């Protein structure tokens, strides 16, 4: 891959859930800007690694499992200390509150929220030594929308914003930032079951009248993980074509 903008040269980035969708687009974009990327998913994300080429490394990482984070940090250390963690892996079944069971609630919390805490626990020490680090959590603009059947998901996505705000305070003296990115409806396998009419109902509410693509999310992540964003922390950046407008 070639790019004239090498804003991430020399950086090592770990992205979760990047076998497909938004995570894959983020991994590709970081690599294009010069980062070595540790590409992780439930199964080895070999396709993503193949597309990026020699600068990518695949790891199996179930973000709900603490010992897998511990082992990922150890293996990542052999590749190069991680500068950037993008927590993207997500779980989002639609369940009305009457159908929602504790197992689904807990799996949503573990996938969408525990992961952020565990990544900080295992990747902060190396960032602190370098006095440089970036955490980006992929939240959702759904935190501000009236979508039924998603109370568990919205709780976690709001939780990501809260965690980033809190984490930002604890790591600021070491050159580390923590921010959330809130995509709107994005064209991925996760949203593929929606009908064209359902998708249109969403994107017609946006200022920019088209469905978002995974590549639309990458700009905010690239900026927040660059040197240019050194004074931006604890923020929630909405990337939804102008649908949700109250921060």
Ligand X SMILES: NC(=O)c1ccc[n+]([C@@H]2O[C@H](COP(=O)([O-])OP(=O)(O)OC[C@H]3O[C@@H](n4cnc5c(N)ncnc54)[C@H](O)[C@@H]3O)[C@@H](O)[C@H]2O)c1
Instruction: Using the minimum distance from each CB to ligand X, give the nearer residue, 89 or 176.
Output: 89
Catalytic (active site) residue 153: yes
Q: Give the integer Cα–Cα distance in Å for 167 and 161.
A: 10
Q: Give the integer Cα–Cα distance in Å for 240 and 105.
A: 26
Q: Which of 49, 185, 229, 236 binds ligand X (CB under 6 A)?
A: 185
Q: Decide: is 221 part of the binding site for ligand X (CB under 6 A).
A: no
Nearest residue to 154 via CA among 108, 189, 194 = 108
Q: Which of 92, 122, 123, 244 binds ligand X (CB under 6 A)?
A: 92
Torsion of CA 69, 75, 80, 83, to 10 degrees: 0
Least distance from ligand X to the Cβ atom of residue 88, Å: 5
- Within 13 Å and on the Cβ side, how many CA atoms surround 165? 10
Q: How far is CA 126 from the centre of its chain?
A: 20
Instruction: Using the minimum distance from each CB to ligand X, give the nearer residue, 133 or 137.
Output: 137
Q: 163 pairs with which residues across the strands?
A: none
Q: Decide: is 91 part of the binding site for ligand X (CB under 6 A).
A: yes
Least distance from ligand X to the Cβ atom of residue 108, Å: 10
Q: Which of 190, 215, 234, 235 binds ligand X (CB under 6 A)?
A: 190
Q: Give the integer Cα–Cα distance in Å for 3 and 44.
A: 26
Which residues 132-161 are close enough to bind ligand X by CB under 6 A?
138, 140
Binding site for ligand X (CB under 6 A): 16-17, 19-23, 41-42, 61-64, 88-92, 111, 138, 140, 183, 185-186, 188-191
Could you list the active site residues? 153
């Amino acid at each position: 891959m070639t790019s004239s903008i090498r804003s991430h040269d020399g950086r090592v980035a770990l992205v979760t859930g990047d076998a497909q969708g938004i995570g894959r687009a983020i991994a590709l974009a970081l690599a294009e800007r010069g980062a070595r990327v540790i590409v992780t998913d439930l199964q080895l994300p070999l396709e993503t690694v193949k597309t990026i080429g020699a600068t990518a490394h695949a790891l199996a990482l179930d973000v709900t499992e603490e010992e897998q984070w511990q082992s990922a940090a150890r293996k990542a250390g052999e590749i190069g200390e991680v500068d950037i963690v993008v927590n993207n892996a997500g779980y989002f079944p639609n369940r009305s509150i009457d159908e929602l069971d504790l197992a689904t609630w807990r799996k949503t919390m573990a996938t969408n929220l525990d992961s952020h805490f565990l990544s900080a626990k295992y990747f902060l020490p190396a960032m602190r030594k370098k006095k440089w680090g970036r955490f980006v959590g992929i939240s959702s603009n759904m935190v501000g929308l009236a979508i039924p059947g998603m109370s568990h998901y919205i709780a976690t996505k709001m939780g990501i914003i809260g965690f980033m705000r809190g984490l930002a305070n604890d790591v600021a003296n070491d050159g580390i930032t923590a921010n959330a990115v809130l995509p709107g409806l994005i064209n991925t396998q996760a949203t593929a079951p929606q009908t064209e009419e359902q998708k249109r109902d969403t994107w017609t509410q946006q200022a920019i009248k088209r469905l978002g693509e995974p590549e639309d999310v990458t700009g905010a992540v690239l900026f927040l993980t660059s040197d240019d964003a050194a004074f931006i922390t604890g923020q929630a950046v909405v990337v939804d074509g102008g649908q949700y407008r109250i921060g």
